[in-house]
Amino acid sequence: MNFLSKPARKRKRTSPSREPRHLHDDISDVAGVDEATALIAEATDALARLARRHNLEMLDYLLRMTHLEAEERLRLRSRRKLS
């Protein structure tokens, strides 16, 4: 008999409303994806300029690459909508 350990407690089930929500649950429609991508492109551009101003070369590089990726995705999505 081990007197130092506590007896195991049963875990209560959480209700569906209390279950953790995933980040992807909110992005369900196409307009939401486009808006998120545009926001990311704008934010990373501003952050890259800030990093450049403070001589943070690696951050500048990574942020510019992220900005380019977001711009490319926006360009490709707009091309698909036109066709």
The string of pLDDT tens digits covering residues 26-61 is 545 556 899 999 999 999 999 999 999 999 999 999
Q: Domain ranges in the chain? A: 30-82
- What is the percent of the chain where pLDDT is above 90? 51
Q: Per mean pLDDT, which of 17-21, 22-26, 66-70 is the most reliable? A: 66-70
**Could you give the CA distance from residue 69 to residue 43 in angstroms, rounded to a whole number?**
13
**Could you give the CA distance from residue 81 to residue 17 in angstroms, rounded to a whole number?**
36
Q: What is the pLDDT of residue 78?
A: 84
What's the mean per-residue pLDDT of the chain? 81
